[in-house]
Amino acid sequence: MNRSYKIGVIKGDGIGPEIVDEAIKVLDAVSVAQGFNLKYEELLLGGAAIDQTGVPLPEETIQGVKQCDAILFGAIGGPQWDNLERTLRPESGLLALRKEMGTFANLRPAMVYDELVNASSLKPSVIQGVDIMVVRELTGGLYFGQPRALEDDKAFNTMIYTREEVKRIAIVAFDIAMKRNKRLCSVDKSNVLEVSQFWREIVEEIAVDYPEVALSHMYVDNAAMQLIRDPKQFDVILTSNIFGDILSDAASMLSGSIGLLPSASTGKGVGLFEPIHGSAPDIAGQGIANPLATISSASMMLRYALNENEAADKIDEAIKKTLAEGYRTGDIGDYDATEIVTCSQMGDIVADYASR
Ligand code: NAD
């Protein structure tokens, strides 16, 4: 066994520890079966970090991340930290960590499992076969732009992108489109915003290097509508931070539950792999959370950070088999279930299939 990797594990708050434990269970099973070794180092972030150190992103976490090959993350946040000043809240720790890691590209697949085609609020004919990858710019735009202020009689934020920021995210999206169905839709609001006009021009420039990719542009309001009307028209969607935040959540609902979908944040160095949902404080500690999004994030980690593609395939197949056999956590329990299982039982079943 000579392939060995160090994984930084950030369990976080709410259901974070429960779902990450299940992903580790599956990683352990698949790594033994595939002949590589994983070492884990736990790092603090968010509310758990505030409680133990007073800050949402401790320096030890920043340094620890740099020593790892990839980071597996659960979720952070909860009502007990909601009244803190904005910079001291759990979410600020996550935003700062992403910035620190230089993870400027957020990859959010939205796919519909055949077994759960009835879980979506849309008609099966509209969503069967949906397989979209949303590429969201993650470290620029409206969420980070300066100046920003909250004053007594006004408040403002700034949506700003540099040429380099647009170029590098466009390249990520075109590269992904080349590995998929070679269709890329760049989403902006260039009829109203100068920053979107700039975005569109740069995407057009990058497209010259990718003649095989069919590039289209769409306004974000139309994209929101088209995602619901006819999602199968999309292959890869490229968009800015705020538009991507909203569109990828809308896209995620095509699959029926946000407990199913993974995400990857990649960029210059170590990548961060996490479910798209939050810390679900309403169900934390009950053992009923759906761990599949986090297990799927672990699969993306193997594929995109560690190049362990066979192991990633094993996990993806194991998830499909688990769903095909009718095992469901409560959030998807209404759809063709043969057995409702706990978070931990779901982890056991996927780990068992993944190790075969
Ligand atoms: P949420 O995603 O945590 O929950 C929304 C709804 O989906 C809840 O009803 C929840 O029970 C359900 N849900 C979420 N994940 C589930 C899973 N794996 N299995 C079953 N059901 C699941 O969003 P929210 O309620 O808006 O936010 C709760 C907290 O999470 C807030 O503090 C928020 O700031 C934080 N948050 C963190 C992240 C992150 O860590 N990346 C992302 C979004 C929200």
pLDDT in tens, 283-330: 999 999 999 999 999 999 998 899 999 999 999 999 999 999 999 999
Please report, rounded to a whole number, the percentage of residues in the chain having pLDDT higher than 70: 100
Alpha-carbon distance of 83 to 317, in angstroms, equals 43
pLDDT value at 155 more than 90: yes
For residue 87, pLDDT beyond 70: yes
Tell me the pLDDT tens digit for each residue of 113-145.
Answer: 988 898 888 999 999 999 999 999 998 999 999
- Report the separation in Å between the CA atom of 146 and the middle of ligand 1, taken as the mean of its atom positions: 28
Pocket-testing residue among 258, 261, 272, ligand 1, by greatest number of atoms within 8 A of Cβ: 258
Q: What percent of the chain has pLDDT over 90?
A: 87
Residue ranges of domains in the chain: 1-111+262-356, 120-255
Q: What's the chain's average pLDDT?
A: 95
pLDDT digits over 328-338, tens only? 999 999 888 99
The predicted structure's pLDDT at residue 202: 98
Report which protein residue has its CA nearest ligand 1's atom 5.
280
- Please check the confidence at residue 268 and state whether its pLDDT lies above 90: no
The answer to whether 1-111+262-356 and 120-255 have equal CATH topology is: yes
Predicted pLDDT of residue 350: 98
Ligand 1, atom 10: closest residue by C-alpha: 280
Interval between CA 248 and ligand 1 midpoint (Å): 14
State residue 170's pLDDT score.
Answer: 98
CA distances from 101 to 67, 87, 107, 117 (A): 12, 18, 15, 36
User: Which residues form the pocket of ligand 1, taking CB atoms under 6 Å from any ligand atom?
Assistant: 15, 19, 75-78, 91, 94, 258-259, 274, 277-283, 289-290, 293, 331
Cβ neighbour number for residue 262 with a 10 Å cutoff: 23
**Atom of ligand 1 at shortest range from CA of 46:** 40
pLDDT digits (tens, 9 = 90+) for 222-240: 999 999 999 999 999 999 9
Atom of ligand 1 nearest to the CA of 292: 18
CA of 89 to the centre of ligand 1 (A): 16
Residues found in the chain: 356
Catalytic residues: 143, 189, 221, 245, 249
For ligand 1, what atom is nearest to the CA of residue 76?
40
CATH homologous superfamily, domain 1-111+262-356: Isopropylmalate Dehydrogenase (3.40.718.10)
Predicted TM-score (pTM) of this structure: 0.88
Which residues, at least 6 apart from 311, have a Cβ–Cβ distance to it below 8 Å?
30, 31, 33, 34, 36, 299, 302
Q: What is the model's pLDDT at position 144? A: 92
Element (H, E) at 90: helix 90-101
1 band by pLDDT with thresholds 50, 70 and 90? low
Query: Is domain 120-255 classified as CATH 3.40.50.300?
Result: no
Give the residue-averaged pLDDT of 69-88.
Answer: 95
Number of C-beta neighbours around residue 95 at 10 A: 18
Cα(288) to ligand 1 centroid in Å equals 13
pLDDT in tens, 19-77: 999 999 999 999 999 999 999 999 999 999 999 999 999 999 999 999 999 999 999 99
Nearest CA to ligand 1 atom 44: 278
CA-to-CA distance for 74 and 286, rounded, in angstroms?
16
Q: What is the pLDDT of residue 328?
A: 96
Region 201-224: mean pLDDT is: 98
Closest CA to 343 of 272, 259, 274, 258: 259
Q: How far does the centroid of ligand 1 lie from the alpha carbon of residue 49, in Å?
A: 18
Could you identify the atom of ligand 1 that is nearest to the CA of residue 19? 18
- Give nearest CA residue, ligand 1 atom 27: 278
Q: Which helix (H) or strand (E) holds 250?
A: helix 241-252
